[in-house]
Amino acid sequence: MFETSMTRRSFVKGSTLAGAAAALGLTTKNSLVETDIAYAERPVERTAVRTACHGCIQVCPCIAYLEDGVVVKLEGDPEAPQSKGSMCLKGLAQQHIVYSPRRVLHPMKLVGQRGSNDWEVISWDEAIELAARQYVTCADKYGDYAFWCATGGGGGYSGPFVKLMQTAFGSCNQISPGACQCYLPRKGVAQFMWGGNNQSIADSSCVEPFNEYDPKIEVLVEWGAQPSTSQTAQSGRSVADMRARGVKTIVIDPLMTPDAAKADLWLPIRPGSDTALMLSWFRYIFENELYDQTFTKYWTNLPFLINPETKLPYEANEVWPDYVNPAEDPDGVYETPAYVCFDAITNSLQPFPYSAPEDSPVDPLIFTTATVNGVEAKTAGQIYWEEAEPWTLEKAAKTCWLEADKIEEAIEMYTNAEYAGIAHGVFSDMMENSSQAPLGCLGLDMIMGRVNKPGATLTGQGSRSRSKTRPTVGLIANPGLSMISSRYGVGWIIGYTKEWNDKNIAKAKREWAEKGRDPDEMQRLYAQQQLDRLGMTKYKGAYYWNQSNIAAVRKAIETGEPYKPRFLYETSGNKLANLGDATAWYDVRNEQDFVVQQYTYMTSFTYEFVDLFLPLEEWLEYETGSQEVAQLNKTYMRKRVIHLGETAHNYIVPMQFTNKVCELRGGDDKIFDKDILYSSCWDNMKDAEASWASVYGASTWEEAMENEEEYNPAVVDDDQYWLKYQHESIASDKLPVGFATLSRKCEVYCTLMLLQARTGWPYLYPYEQVACDDYSPICTHVEQTENALTDTEYPLTLTSGRTHYWHHSTLRHSAFNRELMPEPEMLVNPDTASEYSIADGDWVKIISRRSSTHGVARLTEGIAPGIVWMERFWNPECFDSTQESPTGGWRECNVAVLTLETTANECFGSATYRAFQVKIEKSTKPDRVWCEPKEFEPFMPTLRGELQTEEMFQ
Amino acid sequence: MTRRTLVINLDRCSGCDTCTTACKYENDLPLGEYFTRMLTIGPTGKFPHVERYWLPVQCQQCENPQCVAVCPTGAAYRDPDTNVVLVNHDTCIGCQYCIYACPYGVRSMDETHGVAQKCTLCSQLTGNSADVPVCVHNCPTGGRFFGDLDDPESDVSKELARYGDECVHTLPDPGGVGPTARYILSPSIAAWKELI
């Protein structure tokens, strides 16, 4: 309890109990409207609940204050290790968002045509029955592949279960714009290259720069990363604290972002040219021998000689058939190959067995050519050098629109520091270079030896980064499952031998037999699903997260080839604001038999596509106690602070649907594999709570809640969290632990890129996907298909990024955020603006080859001439009940209608959401769009008087 | 003497507007009304040789506040204990003299009650010295500090002590009102711009 001078009167004043909920045909229970004066003047008791914010992808512990069961205040928790009491405006907005008249509190069925926005309230029983019956009708008629599902990004309200849902139903398609266009490529390439974490600050993979237990970093390169705007109170706070400690930063970003404004050096790069700059860094570092010689020789694969035919490293027994590999596991479990190098000691070709650097029999040359089995072969280092060699500082400066001396200054800052690292933002995931750019950023840190070292972004934390054996990695790691092969007998775990992998597959099949299922059929069907997933012959990197290629899915919906996805289970907010070429998606909306969406708010997507809407809890209403709610070494509980209407938990609703489908079909075995969903979904809250209790070391969730001081947060001791030099410790085979890759070394030359392109290995073993062209194993320069160097018709390059105000689709309904940023700003250099007679504050039309949309011009010297920057946006006010002629609100001001779905990265199929060509013209404000603060009154909270309800599906 | 005020470290501030909305939730301000606003200064210069910073502006807690000087009823006053500039809503007649007199434009009309309103440094929270203003508590960059300028152990004094004179600024003061709010901006981030 907290002392307070507030009275009920002040609360009543704060509650704008308008009846705007009528927009959705709902009524509010305005019990406080009739408040009498005496009651109103009485002091109210204020109570506090510790919970955790979910206003963005990350987590900031916070405190919710309640009066009479109503949340009246949120603030950051001062005990939080990163946010330290901070809570940003995205999180604070929840106190309006949760009570917004636009919340949906009951299941809603579309009664008119799609686009009519005509809904009726139905019960959960009716809703689940309707969804399941529609599914059964559709799947019975068209087969399992008629089902598909979708989600947003990793930070969304619905978790990773969507990746499993396709499999549960024997289907193979799932899309998420927040996968191949956000994080999957950077995370995947890091896994391919060293089996460890990646350089993303936003996803809390790169946290060593924020280590205050043993702070060491001197220089951080923020390459296309903007923590101050993306995770404002979490990593935004951390970079502010880090800079205040004296850490220098280099920011590489077309826009002078808040982080660029604070940087010691800003390189305003031309959007889409990053790989050219990376190669110039490689060239400079190689030429001036600034790399870490020992690490590069002994902990990377750059000295390995590469077979020019296979492009793969020679193994020693290919050259010396009788060679005995000293690192071979006598038990046949782990695999540690020996390779071939050119040895400087003997000046000859030699086997290069795995060992600690000091125990190595060779001193391998990194850059050389040698004759191997009668063929001229280059080392991987030589191949990299030849790729980088043309990229002088001057050539990179010209290509990237930078100054050569500034590039040199940046490289010198980065290389001269003893402790430094690169943080790699989301930009490249949304471009055609989505595999080549992380190959570059990771490769640079690796040749500098900045791996598992103080200050290095590529430093693992906690027990998961520490192995006592030769490390292994199972790609296609699913939530709750170490590897898909452990379930169906498909896939190879890297680091184990073929013998062990085959045994592992046999074990999986035995388990199916014990369950009474045909093991060969389960393996074959699962493999066939993987082979039949849309787009996978070309873009096999998407296997890493079981993602379909989004453009291929849309094309299949449009043409029915090779088959037609018809029943969609959608679990995120506004696809029409997030998919590439949103208009092309709108055009296929009526090619869907039935669309279910589970979310907290109706969005443009709901308006245009959805037949049945299942209402979810907002983050003040749902509980979570998993590793998803962690800040550094502390894991927090997210609590049910309030609960309104009939909203339900995001991990339980899919199970309700699945259970009903099984019931209608006559058994749990009437879909492919219902049980796989239980690795991240639950039938009810009791089951969920049981799984969370162990995170906190409590026997039950009730015990954890009742003794919160003892259990919340769960803490990993600093000395067990901030680990270093993990790869150097000695494993069970008496060799250094090394890394979870094929070679047990950092694969700067990434052999997995080649192997997966050819057969889909290791994802599909023992099955094979159709081969496609090889993916580049090293960073190469990839120019966007649409680019400023060649395009004269659409002369301006548009790029994008986040602003402080938004994350989830829900936040566009925040009146207090919208009044500050009512419309998207198109940032443009004054010289460019003057060419189009555009003044600051003018409405502009932005036109791409796909479509056009609108924004407000802001003239700024913080961006180069020829580039425009605009955040994606959408306007939920366009279908507010006050509008005379409503629309879905996704055409008016929305970058997604300009983006491309067709040009794609070679490995991941990442579509182009940034760095493409547009033209602009002066325009006028689109109809329906609200710009003045008072216009947002219909978004102010109205549901504070709602009765508190119990959790659905307890 | 006690002089409660804010010190804002612009080396940290990223212009996120959390102070703006945190204040609105706490002080129950309607749409379009603010006790604190975020100004973006720059980018100044010519691309790419530019610099930029953000300047949150709220009541500067002046030593000689013009709002108090012009108030015909004494409703505008400095709290005798803390020297925080406040408005007595019982005696304010809504004449708006103070709004026009304030050189920083940080007072506005509470249209509902017909009185002048402004930042109180969250007096409902800080009045008994138990807490800090919500803009300070929640600042995502840890860039806002609250306390007594005359107490060397206060948060504001300690933060100021970390910087040299060249980094410590006040808003321009042509009228001699003596703003006590301090802004920290290091020349390495950006040169302080005189805005008036």
User: Residue A66 forms beta bridges with which residues?
Assistant: A47, A71
Chain A contacts in chain B segment 23-62 (CB below 8 A): 24-26, 28, 31-32, 42-48, 50-54
Task: Give the confidence band of A598 by pLDDT, cuts at 50, 70, 90.
Answer: very high
Rounded to a whole number of angstroms, the distance from the CA of A930 to the nearest CA of chain B is 13
Helix ranges, A352-403 (H): 380-388, 393-400
Whether the Cβ atoms of residue A520 and residue A157 lie closer than 8 Å to each other? no
User: CB-based contacts of A528: which residues, under 8 Å, 6+ apart?
Assistant: none
User: CB-based contacts of A936: which residues, under 8 Å, 6+ apart?
Assistant: A815, A818, A819, A822, A877, A930, B31
**In this structure, which amino acid lies at residue A177?**
P
Residue B18 to residue B4: CA distance in whole angstroms: 21
List phi, psi (to 5°) of A900: -115, 145
Instruction: Spell out a b/e string for B156-182, using b for 16 or more CB atoms within 10 Å of the CB, else e.
Output: bbebbeebeeebbbebebeeebebbbb
For A150-183, how does the pLDDT look when each residue is reduced to its tens digit (9 = 90+)? 998 767 777 678 888 999 999 999 999 999 999 9
Instruction: Spell out a b/e string for A184-221, using b for 16 or more CB atoms within 10 Å of the CB, else e.
Output: bbbbbbbbbbbbbbbbbbbbbbbbbbbbeeebbbbbbb
Task: Give the confidence band of A745 by pLDDT, cuts at 50, 70, 90.
Answer: very high
Indicate if the pLDDT at residue A60 is higher than 90: yes
Residue A200 to residue A23: CA distance in whole angstroms: 40
Mean pLDDT of the B29-38 span: 98
A420 three-state secondary structure: strand
Q: What percent of chain A has pLDDT over 70?
A: 94
**In this structure, which amino acid lies at residue B145?**
F
| CB atoms near residue A10 (< 10 Å) | 17
HEC letters along A271-338: CCCHHHHHHHHHHHHHHCCCCCHHHHHHHECCCCEECCCCCCECEHHHHCCCCCCCCCCCCCCECCCC
User: CB-based contacts of A44: which residues, under 8 Å, 6+ apart?
Assistant: A4, A6, A7, A8, A11, A67, A68
Token pair recorded at residue B88? 């007595």
Nearest Cα neighbor of A207 from A90, A396, A58 is A58
User: Residue A350 forms beta bridges with which residues?
Assistant: A341
Confidence (pLDDT) at A35: 39
User: Residue A315 forms beta bridges with which residues?
Assistant: A339
Rounded to a whole number of angstroms, the distance from the CA of B196 to the nearest CA of chain A is 21
Residue A787 C-beta-side C-alpha neighbours within 13 Å? 18
Rounded to a whole number of angstroms, the distance from the CA of A9 to the nearest CA of chain B is 12
User: Which residues in chain B have Cβ-Cβ distances shorter than 8 Å to A75?
Assistant: 134, 137-138
Residue A255 to residue A282: CA distance in whole angstroms: 24
Answer positive or negative: Cα dihedral of B101, B104, B105, B107: negative
Token pair recorded at residue A790? 């060649």
Strands A375-379 and A305-306, bridge-based pairing: antiparallel
Indicate if the pLDDT at residue B74 is higher than 50: yes
Residue A211 to residue A750: CA distance in whole angstroms: 29
Residue B31: which of A228, A864, A936 has the nearest Cβ? A936
| CB atoms near residue A929 (< 10 Å) | 18
Contact A236 B140 (CB under 8 A): yes
Confidence (pLDDT) at A29: 31
For A907-939, how does the pLDDT look when each residue is reduced to its tens digit (9 = 90+)? 999 999 999 999 999 999 999 999 999 999 999
Strands A567-570 and A594-599, bridge-based pairing: parallel
How is chain A split among helix, strand and coil, in percent rounded to 5? 35, 15, 50
Task: Give the confidence band of A866 by pLDDT, cuts at 50, 70, 90.
Answer: very high
Confidence (pLDDT) at A11: 35
Confidence (pLDDT) at A432: 98
A210 three-state secondary structure: helix
Confidence (pLDDT) at A109: 98
Contact A261 B139 (CB under 8 A): no
Mean pLDDT of the A609-636 span: 92
Indicate if the pLDDT at residue A699 is higher than 50: yes
DSSP A114: T
Confidence (pLDDT) at A486: 74
Residue B107 to residue B33: CA distance in whole angstroms: 10
Confidence (pLDDT) at A158: 74
User: Residue B87 forms beta bridges with which residues?
Assistant: B76
Residue A86: which of B24, B50, B142 has the nearest Cβ? B142
Chain A residue with Cα closest to B46: A861
Residue A679 to residue A658: CA distance in whole angstroms: 14
Taking all residues of chain A, what is their mean pLDDT, rounded to a whole number? 93
DSSP A766: T
Whether the Cβ atoms of residue A542 and residue A180 lie closer than 8 Å to each other? yes
Contact B138 A816 (CB under 8 A): no
Whether the Cβ atoms of residue A22 and residue A880 lie closer than 8 Å to each other? no
Q: What percent of chain A has pLDDT over 90?
A: 89
Answer positive or negative: Cα dihedral of A491, A493, A499, A503: negative
Confidence (pLDDT) at A34: 38
Task: Give the confidence band of A18 by pLDDT, cuts at 50, 70, 90.
Answer: very low
Nearest Cα neighbor of A188 from A907, A945, A916, A942 is A907
Contact A228 B16 (CB under 8 A): yes
Confidence (pLDDT) at A163: 84
Whether the Cβ atoms of residue A638 and residue A619 lie closer than 8 Å to each other? yes
Pick the range with the lowest mean pLDDT from A2-16, A415-429, A446-460. A2-16
A606 to each of A161, A419, A612, A889, how far by Cα in Å?
A: 21, 49, 9, 11
Contact A256 B32 (CB under 8 A): no
Whether the Cβ atoms of residue A672 and residue A525 lie closer than 8 Å to each other? yes
Contact A862 B141 (CB under 8 A): no
Token pair recorded at residue A743? 């070679």
Residue A816: which of B21, B127, B140 has the nearest Cβ? B21
Confidence (pLDDT) at A477: 58
A855 three-state secondary structure: strand
Mutation target to probe the B interface, by most B beta carbons within 10 A, among A2, A4, A84, A88 is A88
CA A613 to chain centre: 25
Residue A46 to residue A26: CA distance in whole angstroms: 29
Nearest Cα neighbor of A856 from A889, A828, A823 is A823
- Give the full edge-to-edge strand order of the sheet including A305-306: A305-306, A375-379, A369-372
Pick the range with the lowest mean pLDDT from A462-466, A841-845, B81-85, B154-158. A462-466
Task: Give the confidence band of A680 by pLDDT, cuts at 50, 70, 90.
Answer: confident
User: CB-based contacts of A347: which residues, under 8 Å, 6+ apart?
Assistant: none
Residue A817 to residue B24: CA distance in whole angstroms: 11
Indicate if the pLDDT at residue A302 is higher than 80: yes
Confidence (pLDDT) at A6: 38
Pick the range with the lowest mean pLDDT from A48-52, A190-194, A542-546. A542-546
- Give the full edge-to-edge strand order of the sheet including B4-9: B144-148, B4-9, B182-184, B168-169
Residue A256: which of B18, B52, B139 has the nearest Cβ? B52
User: Which residues in chain A have Cβ-Cβ distances shorter than 8 Å to B141?
Assistant: 86, 228, 236-237, 240
Nearest Cα neighbor of A174 from A731, A569, A442, A474 is A569
Contact A89 B17 (CB under 8 A): yes
Chain A contacts in chain B segment 98-157 (CB below 8 A): 124, 127, 130, 134, 137-143
Residue A254 to residue A867: CA distance in whole angstroms: 8
Q: Is B12 on the interface with A (CB under 8 A)?
A: yes
Residue B20 to residue B36: CA distance in whole angstroms: 5
For A780-838, how does the pLDDT look when each residue is reduced to its tens digit (9 = 90+)? 999 999 999 999 999 999 999 999 999 999 999 999 999 999 999 999 999 999 999 99
Indicate if the pLDDT at residue A225 is higher than 80: yes
Token pair recorded at residue A899? 């983006």
Chain A contacts in chain B segment 58-87 (CB below 8 A): none
Pick the range with the lowest mean pLDDT from A242-251, A688-697, B5-14. A688-697
Contact A233 B138 (CB under 8 A): yes
List phi, psi (to 5°) of B38: -105, 120
Residue A43 to residue A3: CA distance in whole angstroms: 10
Mean pLDDT of the A853-880 span: 98
Mean pLDDT of the B18-25 span: 98
Rounded to a whole number of angstroms, the distance from the CA of A460 to the nearest CA of chain B is 26
Token pair recorded at residue B123? 């007096």
Confidence (pLDDT) at A484: 64
Confidence (pLDDT) at A485: 61
Confidence (pLDDT) at A42: 65
